[in-house]
Chain A
């Protein structure tokens, strides 16, 4: 079974600074997807970014980028120019079994605080 580990329960960053959230996963599959979701106090789960395992290039979405290290099974999220609205719980998630819809396996989350 796949597992996702987020070893940082809490992180804080100064507004306008950069922060990196860590995620590691364990799988025997060769093709899969990885995601970062954001959950603000409203508790809505919002997709931040996704990475296809077969792509070597790291995904980027505006101020959000990932460092995907397939051999190390590591998938970290970098937030540049942090804003107050970035404060939320961040979940790393894994989806495997190509060719069919499968459930997401989530990490335990990292609570990000942005300091003004």
Chain B
């Protein structure tokens, strides 16, 4: 089975440009998470969706960041405009969760390394 798929794997852009990161979760999973990893802050959750609905976006740093999940098999994280401090590795993860049935394992994609010049 395919794991979580992210694209692109590497992105280099200039300050002020729009950046779109993409994620395809594992088929059958109903929860999707976007994380950001930096040396300074480690791994931090940006937003997560359950059944395509955003549940918690309190980790989204600013209005420049937005995320969508139009269907169960696709999500995007957009940064507009991008800034050098957005440079990081962005991970997407998915899991299956059923109310009252305890499965919490999250499976991660390979990440997108974003560099904003």
Contacts and interface: CB of A to CB of B under 8 A. Distances in A.
Interface of A: 33, 35, 37, 42-47, 50, 52, 91, 95, 98-104, 106-109
Contact of B111 (A43, A100, A101, A107): A43
B110 A44 contact: yes
Contact of B91 (A45, A47, A50): A45
A102 B104 contact: yes
A95 B104 contact: yes
B42 A106 contact: yes
Contact of A52 (B31, B48, B55, B102): B102
Interface residues of B, number: 27
Contact of B105 (A35, A43, A107, A109): A35
Q: Across chains A and B, which 6 residue pairs bring their CB atoms closest together, nearest first? A: A101-B97, A45-B108, A101-B31, A103-B45, A106-B43, A33-B104
B87 interface: no
20 contacts: A43-B110, A44-B108, A44-B110, A44-B111, A45-B91, A50-B105, A91-B43, A99-B102, A100-B50, A100-B55, A100-B99, A101-B30, A101-B48, A101-B95, A101-B97, A103-B45, A104-B106, A106-B42, A106-B43, A109-B42
Chain A interface helix/strand/loop/mixed:
loop
B98 to A, nearest CB: 9
Contacts of A44: 108, 110-111
A11 to B, nearest CB: 17
